[in-house]
Amino acid sequence: MGELDGFDAVLFDLDGVITSTADQHYAAWKEMFDDFLRRRAERLGEPFRPFERDDYNRYVDGVPRYDGVRRFLEARGIRLEEGGADDSPDDETVLGLGDRKNDLVNRLIAEQGVKVYDDSVVLLRHLRRQGVKTALVSSSRNATAVLEVARLTDLFDTRVDGEVAAELGLAGKPSPQTFLAAADRLGVPHHRAVVVEDALSGVEAGRAGGFGLVVGVDRVGQAQALRDHGADLVVADLAELIR
């Protein structure tokens, strides 16, 4: 099995690792934040600075939705009220902006469908044949729906996504809590499990959790950044792990 020899479980992120929905998430974040930032700049008479891919990689990729809003706004020196459950997606609060982004990404996925990375499916099926346990660990609250649309549900032994994390009170990435919970659900010691992530926050979580191997998946040309944030190994194609 190559690099994965000797491990009992592999824990996979979803967006950008199993599916190409990371691009749809980026597009949704950009549309939401650019609209907010443009209106704010006009009100204050300030230059408009758009949300860029680097902002996505640094502040929102792989983290829970509202945490992503907070992290990006803090980086821009912007303070907003937290808001409440009755906020609408049009409200300029942390929860309102997060819900607006969620509406946008759901629309994009409904319109465009879900593209699955073939190399990920090759690796998953290989692991299943070898008797290695697998888990999905995603900050997304839409992970179950995405798996069902992509017909990948049967490739995972357990799932710890945004919904499960909220139910259990787990901190999102870069905290390792969701990965640790997945390994515990599988009954596998952390040092016998592998984390597979494309997000900088995700590889940070894998490193902080003391996992046996942290694999960074470079889909967008950030191999060095993945290494800098804690990846032991970086690949562009997950099928490389079984050669």
- Return the active site residues: 13, 15
Smallest CA-to-CA distance from 93 within 46, 50, 36, 139 is with 36
Rounded Cα distance between 111 and 228, Å, is 36
Rounded Cα distance between 131 and 163, Å, is 27
DSSP secondary structure, 46-105, as one string = -------HHHIIIIITTS-HHHHHHHHHHHTT-------TT--TTSSSHHHHHHHHHHHH
Smallest CA-to-CA distance from 113 within 32, 19, 28, 30 is with 19
CA distances from 154 to 73, 115, 121, 147, 233 (A): 38, 17, 11, 9, 27
Asked whether 139 and 62 are in contact (CB, 8 A), the reply is yes
Q: Within its chain, how far is the Cα of 38 from the centroid?
A: 26
Smallest CA-to-CA distance from 157 within 10, 15, 59, 5 is with 10
3-state secondary structure of 10: strand
